Amino acid sequence: MGEKTCLVIGGGRGMGAATAKEMHKRGYKLSLMSPSDSCEHLAENLKGIALRGKAENKKNLERIVNLTMEKYGRIDSVLVHVGGPPKGDLLEIDDEDWDKANQMIIKPVVSISKLVTPIMLEQGGGSIVNITTFSAFEPSLTFPTSSVYRAGVSSFTKLFSDRYGSKNIRMNCLLPGFTDSLNLPDEFAQLSSLNRLARADEQAKVAAFLLSDDSSYITGQSIRSDGGVTRHM
């Protein structure tokens, strides 16, 4: 087996970029995709490959998967980090924005799963991690579309794990709290039991744990890394 590889969807900035850097430290070869050229600059620094594109477009996902296989011949782990769905007052969000949020949040997870699962089956396993949000666990009126559809990602994650766990393909969700890469107002830090925002590199370490064999007996889970924002035990 050659060196392990990690494909990062949304790997140009924030937690996606931080996870790419963490996986690079762990010796993984990297393949990055993001809408801006930030993924290209990061890939150059980390000696990886990159492709600009939006995750909700399946053709972009097909292109980055094909590019990764051409370059490395395998895909061991996949991080899906998509963000920025429409916000607003619950019933004031129009139907088009609800549809847009669905396309942005759930569709990339389903699409990339369809593309990489056959590869992972042939390899004998793999790990997929979806970065969502703490509000998938405790919905927030501040983030209505995100809360609704990211809860759907958790459901898909559990179903996928039930279907492919016996094939050694794992899928988990990382539910971060308020993180410094999100350019949040200072008052959001007060919502954490730790009285501060998370650092993107802290979240990246959790993501890397779930992407790697260190978490080989964890699948179908929604792991909260929220600094105590959520209250349910």
**Averaged in consecutive runs of 10 residues, what is the pLDDT profile of the chain (233 residues)?**
89 94 98 96 97 96 98 98 91 96 96 98 98 91 93 97 98 94 84 93 98 98 95 77
Q: Among residues 62, 69, 171, which one has the least CA distance to residue 119?
A: 69
Angle between helix 14-25 and helix 200-211 axes, rounded to 10 deg: 60
pTM of the complete model: 0.96
Q: What's the pLDDT score for residue 2?
A: 65
Task: Map tokens 């988990």 to a residue.
Answer: 172
Parse the chain into domains and list their residue ranges. Answer: 5-225
Q: What's the pLDDT score for residue 7?
A: 98
Q: What's the pLDDT score for residue 184?
A: 81
Collapsing DSSP to helix, strand or coil, 53 comes out as coil
Return the ∠ at Cα 162 (arms to 158 and 164), rounded to 5°. Answer: 115
Q: What's the pLDDT score for residue 1?
A: 56
Return the bridge partners of 198, or none.
179
> What topology does CATH give the domain 5-225?
Rossmann fold (3.40.50)
Rounded CA-CA distance 36/11 in Å is 10
Rounded CA-CA distance 183/123 in Å is 39
Dihedrals phi, psi of 7, to nearest 5 degrees: -100, 125
Rounded CA-CA distance 83/104 in Å is 7
Dihedrals phi, psi of 81, to nearest 5 degrees: -130, 95
Q: What's the pLDDT score for residue 46?
A: 97
Rounded CA-CA distance 208/135 in Å is 21
Collapsing DSSP to helix, strand or coil, 112 comes out as helix
Residue type, 214: D
